Structure 1
């Protein structure tokens, strides 16, 4: 692949961070407006929505924190911690009477569980992307060079 067609780490990091910002803004709006009955019927728990929302948040947080650098256990812990603090603030803000929302422990635990799963998914995505970037930078592996026939190798 030619150099101009490869995605630059800074570009990818910027796109991931933009996606995170838009997702987070949408999450804030969605969790601070009254639940429309069309989306969440009043007699149905929205716990799975909490789980999925924070799964998405943490999935984006991990690569946003780690790209274009490297990923470590601390990256996952920081991402989970940020999501956990936000989940706490989010649930507390839902106690404001004019929002017509309720703070619930099970929703908070669902937020934390979703964030934990999202950290795992985000780490997998970030590691896969970072390792592929490393292989591109290194060029062909020694094994790949050995598999080529001698007449295809250039002298030099």
Structure 2
């Protein structure tokens, strides 16, 4: 795994952790980027989706969509727990899903370029087979 890909994997899991912790903190203590709650959801899930696509380029789009949508649902279920003191809303999950779709569409050209680069670069065993013996 390249250093760049390791960075994307780290950034993805850090973003997932930050999003979940932010979602279960009491509303007054949770960080907000925008005044509109749905925009906060969309920014978080767009970022997570884009990072997921970069971190796991071989993961097919539909399973990635399903996993990220399930994560959004898990957040809403977590917010429904009374001692969390948050409100679970279907609208929040719909905002997450819309952001996931937008993130997948906008990350698609980057995924295509990464695949082309990966396919054009010979793997390590192939390189050693082509190199002359010393």
- 1:61 and 2:52 correspond: yes
| Cα distance in 1 for residues equivalent to 2:30 and 2:15 | 21
Match of 2:41 in 1: 50
Secondary structure in 2 matching 1:129: helix
- 1:35 and 2:27 correspond: yes
On the 8 A contact 1:92/1:103 being kept in 2, the answer is: yes
Instruction: Please report the TM-score for the alignment, with normalisation by the length of structure 1.
Output: 0.67
| Cα distance in 1 for residues equivalent to 2:73 and 2:16 | 15
- What root-mean-square deviation, in Å, do the aligned CA atoms of Structure 1 and Structure 2 show? 2.3
| Cα distance in 2 for residues equivalent to 1:18 and 1:53 | 16
On the 8 A contact 1:76/1:123 being kept in 2, the answer is: no
On the 8 A contact 1:79/1:119 being kept in 2, the answer is: no
Which residue of the other structure, out of 53, 76, 79, is the alignment partner of 1:94? 79
Match of 1:146 in 2: none
- 1:125 and 2:123 correspond: no
Number of residue pairs matched by the alignment? 120
On the 8 A contact 1:32/1:94 being kept in 2, the answer is: yes
- 1:26 and 2:18 correspond: yes
- Could you list the runs of 5+ residues in structure 2 that have no partner in the other structure? 123-134
On the 8 A contact 1:95/1:101 being kept in 2, the answer is: yes
- Report how far residue 34 of structure 1 moved: 1.3
Instruction: Please report the TM-score for the alignment, with normalisation by the length of structure 2.
Output: 0.77
Which residue of the other structure, out of 54, 78, 99, is the alignment partner of 2:63? 78
